[in-house]
Amino acid sequence: MTLNIDGLEIEVTRKSIKNMYVRVRPPDGRVTISAPYRMPQRQIEDFVRQHRPWVDRQRRKIIDAHREGLARIGALPDASRDPAAGKSAMSGGTGVPSQRQSVEDGERPTDSASIWTEQRRREAAAVIESALPALLSHWGPIIGRTPTHVTLRLMTSRWGSCTPSTGRIRLNLQLGLMEPRFLEYVLVHEMTHLWARGHGAEFQRRMGEYLPNWRRIRRELNRQAIV
């Protein structure tokens, strides 16, 4: 069900839950609500109006992060150089940890298909492919395990993922257009999952041994927009 509350479209899903949850989702600042089956619509509308300032702030953060990400890879002009560039940005995204071992106002301004031209894909892939042999040679002996396959692909909500049972690792192609330390961090993160499936104590202990500053790099990476 979609509600239009004071000009803001919200997707509402009824679930067997006790409380209501509001989320602002990348990449387009879409607002979703999970609400109990018996909660009156009026209560949902009142809740949204009460928390509208928070929702607007979160959407603005996502908008700004996405536009910065587009500018960083050369898909959009930098807002600092073009005052008009920042007026209607609408998307964003961060790497979010999931249980499958992955690293952690209107229209979308630029479609992903137009951002990722064939040339940009080739450039990003070439950077990663040229860096991987040295990275794997360095980190394989340290971590004690190496992936059976490393696949590059465009991802919409994560920087990397791992299937421990097969040893396969997937890396977001966008890492080839970013600072090299981010590629290294994501690779180490996913290789660590070859030992530790979750993000619990063993995973954190190993990451602390391999990359003592891994939490700082993760925070910096997750402030970047996935485009």
Asked if 130 and 30 sit in the same domain, the reply is no
For residue 125, give the nearest of 160, 172, 161 by alpha carbon. Answer: 172
pLDDT cut 70: percent of the chain above it: 78
Q: Reduced to 3 states, what is the DSSP secondary structure of residue 141?
A: helix
pLDDT one-digit tens code per residue, 132-190: 999 999 999 999 999 999 999 999 889 999 999 999 999 999 999 999 999 999 999 99
Residue 215 has pLDDT above 60, yes or no: yes
205 and 129, same domain (yes or no): yes
The tally of domains found in the chain comes to: 2
Which residues constitute the domain of residue 47? 2-86
Q: Is residue 37 part of a domain?
A: yes
The helix/strand/coil state of 15 is strand
